[in-house]
A and B are shown apart, each in its own frame.
Chain A
Amino acid sequence: MKRKNNDTRLLPPAGLGERLRRDVLLNWRLYVLLLPGVVSLVLFKLFPVAGMVIAFQDFSAFRGITGSTWVGLENFQRMFTDKYMLTLISNTVIIAILSIVCVFPIPIIFALLLNEERSRVVKNSVQSLSFLPYFISSAVMVSILATMLNPSTGIVNVIIRHFGGDAVNFMARPEWFRPLYILLQIWQTFGYNAIIYIAGITAINPELYEAAEVDGCQRWGKMIHVTIPGISTSIITMLIISIGQIFTVQTERIILMYNPSNAATSDVIQSYVYRIAFQSLGFPDYSYGTAVNLVKSVLAFILVIIANKLADRFAETRVF
């Protein structure tokens, strides 16, 4: 195989099409293996993006995209004049920022601490246990939380009462909504996200640790001067991905945790879009919901570009 590659290099320079043809001929087995993934990507990821065109239509499920009326930027105008939109954007952004500030560092810290554990049995057990909540559905997770925080029978309030305090209906307090949401987010994702960092740590050359030891580094020193720089590329990549998802809150979790009492902090763009598109009284406004989502995606894309540029400039690493 290597020889053939070298042979290819010896050929006179060719155009992109020709090079691609040769590459396909040469590595056709790999391309066949790639095919299902590409088809899946095109069918289920790229093709549906074209459906966002309904943001510029008065979409009718019966008429479809080709038969629906075009309304230009009407849905976007409506969005920017919607008096409720400011509250929704503010709630969404606050939750998103809290998610990055509070949730993002936890798997890194967890991976670093787990790396310091010497017992392989303990290490593997802890990693497996931390991974499990990722597979619990949001509905079950919110139910567990609601049961634990039940003002009458929940364990938390039983303890509060035991120490002479008054029961608190945490699920109904607007000031408690964000901490609880973030807590669930951490609980559900920290074990899963830590895998990326644990994999990165495993790939660090052990000679670097030995060199650090020679230079007099203790555990903290090795962590700060070897481990963290060793996984910095993964950290930045994950940070950029997180910024890309800044407006993407967990809609089903929000809807499950939403109630009239905590609406001041829990009503976000997605829950509003859900109401407009799927819970309206006979007029599901798919076009408006898509328009809101499109604006959200464009803003997230701009943020990703900025984060990528900043990462390139200050950390000399980037995703694209």
Chain B
Amino acid sequence: MKRKVTAISLAILLALLMVLVGCSKEETPASSSKASASTSTAVAADTSTQDEPRTYSWFLRSQFITWLRDLKWYDVAEERTGIHVDYVEGPLELNDTFNEVDQRLASGTLPDGTMLRLAQAKVYGAQGAFVDLRPYIEKYAPNIQAYLDANPDYERLISSDDGAIYAMIRESPVLADFIGYRADHFRAVGIDPAEVTTVEDLTEAMRALKAYYGKDNPNYYPFSGRENAPTRFAYLFDAASYADAEGSSGIYYSHEKDYSFDIKAPRAYEWIQTIKTWYDEGLINPSWIDGTNTEGDWESQMLSGNASLFLDFYNRAEWFMTNGGPDNDPDFDMQVLPWLVDDEGNILKQTSALLWRSDNAVAINASCDEETIRTILEFIDYFYSEEGMILANWGVEGESFKTNEDGSREFIVDYTAEESKPEGTKKWSFLSDRQTVCKPVDQEAFYAWNTPLIAEAASRYLVPEALLARPVLVYTTEQEQELSNLVASVYNAELAGLTGFIVGNTPLNEETWNAFVEQMDALGLQRIEDIQYEAYKTTFGL
């Protein structure tokens, strides 16, 4: 009988536990913010005299937190402001982090502040989830206010349809991809990189490399890379997507730099025909074209000598030099190829990142009280002050940089030594392409903080005349919502169609190409272009 009673009690307990677990909520970090906020209310307004730092909680992708914790300048910033941020770890992947913001909103567990997409902030902000920062910026953040005044484009971008500011966006460096090449391979084959100036020269160089290295190695393909191969080369044929006073073509929304292409461009057909030639002749890695070459595959191909060229992130050439290249092969020598030009010698202009990217936004939970809002804004505001900008972009004078007699600044710590420190070690690092805090970017410092190979290439090639105009467009929430849904189906369909032409699943001729363009228009491409053009006209008052 006793055993029966025990068994029954256990069964009931189990059932009750399940009910409790099912119905329970995670402890709301925002509630802890109330506690911290009340603490912050009690402290004096003069931060320099505080014993205990003011605190608030912030939701961030876990990778970003790892980066932040290693930064020496970040510690100095917390010390100088007397404000400490308790970071709440999000998932490893960026998209998962944005999804978790939704889940935390639904479950009421969003901390005091969060990273998110600008679109999320606008939609949920209008519904009351986030603080309208406009009045608080005016009251507590003079440096941010000055930045808004100096950048009306930025203010328009972050303002919602109702005029409120629910989020701010950090600045991004002007980034463009570089073509990296194995200089030792070029030397062995007898190719002078200075003579590779046009797409035709590049094709001939690849043919020579293939003949030399591919003779006995079936796995050798001169050009390799990761993700969306065909789209990376569109700019070489003046076929990047765009929006300007004349109109808009291709998917520009969220594809201003990466994977920007326009199938209606006059030379779009030639672009795909050229890639197809490369594919048919084995000049480009077929797995890259197919979409099955992972980042690891590509890195392995470059390091093992199964590829000689790539088109990727600006500092990747240096990455290969410091991540096993010379260890695998003492002759390994990676360099950056100059911009290619057309037959008339004009630079083939490259797409570049927007100064303000919509996936780099920060917002404050509407459940925060005014003192917490003030604390958060004062911390962000510090990075918009002259002192804060110098700290976040150059570090501490005498420790990480010096000021020359002509007023220019120069790093006095070694890039390679600092960046190669293992994770968990404090270091000086100024990789402003990484999202850490919401702040402006000193472009000069960003490129100075590189090895001579990249710093020199950036100073030569990242010049305005080599970059396509990438205007920041302001969309209404409704426009952005429609674009978001259309792009989800049209972009993949376009990419699948282009890949089909290149690999031969669909014959490539004028007739099939025109049918493909019509099909994409019917699927929503035309509508996307119309919305982008409308947004352009609104943004620039046309």
Contacts and interface: CB of A to CB of B under 8 A. Distances in A.
A and B physically associate: yes
Interface of A: 29, 32-33, 35-36, 39-40, 43-44, 60-64, 82-84, 146, 151-153, 161, 167, 169, 171-174, 259-261, 263-264, 267, 272, 275-276, 278-285, 288
B404 interface: no
A260 B495 contact: yes
A60 to B, nearest CB: 6
The CB with the most chain B CB atoms within 10 A, among A29, A275, A280, is that of: A280
Interface residues of B, number: 59
A153 to B, nearest CB: 7
Interface string B17-30: 01100100000000
Contacts of B11: 32-33, 35-36
The CB with the most chain B CB atoms within 10 A, among A32, A169, A261, is that of: A261
B124 A62 contact: yes
Contacts of A173: 505
Contacts of B306: 152
Contacts of B505: 173-174, 261, 264
Interface in B104-141: 105-106, 117-120, 123-124, 127-129
B184 interface: no
29 contacts: A29-B4, A29-B8, A32-B11, A32-B12, A35-B11, A44-B22, A61-B103, A61-B106, A62-B124, A62-B128, A83-B523, A84-B489, A152-B218, A169-B286, A171-B292, A172-B292, A261-B290, A261-B292, A261-B496, A261-B499, A261-B503, A261-B505, A275-B488, A275-B492, A279-B95, A280-B484, A281-B488, A282-B120, A284-B99
Interface string B271-295: 0000000000000001101111000
A281 B19 contact: no
Nearest to B4: A29
Contacts of A272: 488-489
Contact of A151 (B18, B123, B286): B286
B253 interface: yes
Interface in B477-507: 480-481, 483-485, 487-489, 492-493, 495-496, 498-500, 503, 505
A43 B18 contact: yes
Nearest to A169: B290
Contacts of B484: 280-283
A52 to B, nearest CB: 16
What are the 8 closest A-B residue pairs judged by CB atoms, nearest first? Answer: A282-B119, A172-B290, A263-B496, A259-B291, A282-B117, A61-B102, A283-B484, A61-B106
Nearest to B254: A281
B39 interface: no
Contacts of A172: 286-287, 290-292, 503
A44 B481 CA distance: 32
B295 to A, nearest CB: 14
A84 B493 contact: yes
A304 to B, nearest CB: 28
B291 A261 contact: yes
Contacts of B289: 261
Contacts of B124: 60-62
Nearest to A68: B127
Nearest to B231: A260
Contacts of B120: 282
Contacts of B99: 278, 284
Contacts of B118: 282
B522 interface: yes
Contacts, number: 140
Contacts of B359: 282
Contacts of B253: 281
Given A39-B15, A62-B129, A261-B496, A282 B98 contact: yes
A63 B366 CA distance: 13
B219 interface: yes
Interface of B: 4, 8, 11-12, 14-15, 18-19, 22, 95, 98-99, 102-103, 105-106, 117-120, 123-124, 127-129, 218-219, 228, 253-254, 286-287, 289-292, 306, 358-359, 480-481, 483-485, 487-489, 492-493, 495-496, 498-500, 503, 505, 522-524
Contacts of B495: 260, 263
The CB with the most chain A CB atoms within 10 A, among B95, B103, B291, B522, is that of: B291
Contacts of A283: 119, 123, 480-481, 484-485
Given A36-B14, A61-B124, A264-B500, A285 B19 contact: no
B35 to A, nearest CB: 23
A35 B12 contact: yes
Given A167-B218, A281-B484, A282-B480, 19 more contacts: A39-B15, A43-B22, A60-B127, A61-B103, A62-B129, A84-B523, A152-B219, A169-B287, A172-B503, A260-B492, A261-B292, A261-B505, A263-B495, A276-B485, A281-B253, A282-B117, A282-B359, A282-B484, A285-B485
B278 to A, nearest CB: 16
A36 B102 CA distance: 31
Contacts of A284: 99, 102
Contacts of B98: 282
Nearest to A276: B488
B259 to A, nearest CB: 11
A186 B479 CA distance: 45
Contacts of A44: 22
A280 B485 contact: yes
A144 to B, nearest CB: 15
B8 A32 contact: yes
Contacts of B12: 32, 35
Contacts of A60: 123-124, 127
A281 B286 contact: no
A173 B500 CA distance: 9
A161 B219 CA distance: 12
Nearest to A38: B15
Nearest to B104: A61
Contacts of A33: 11
B15 A35 contact: yes
A278 B102 CA distance: 10
B302 to A, nearest CB: 14
A252 to B, nearest CB: 14
Contacts of A264: 496, 500, 505
The CB with the most chain B CB atoms within 10 A, among A152, A153, A282, is that of: A282
Contacts of B127: 60, 62-63
Nearest to B489: A84
B8 A39 contact: no
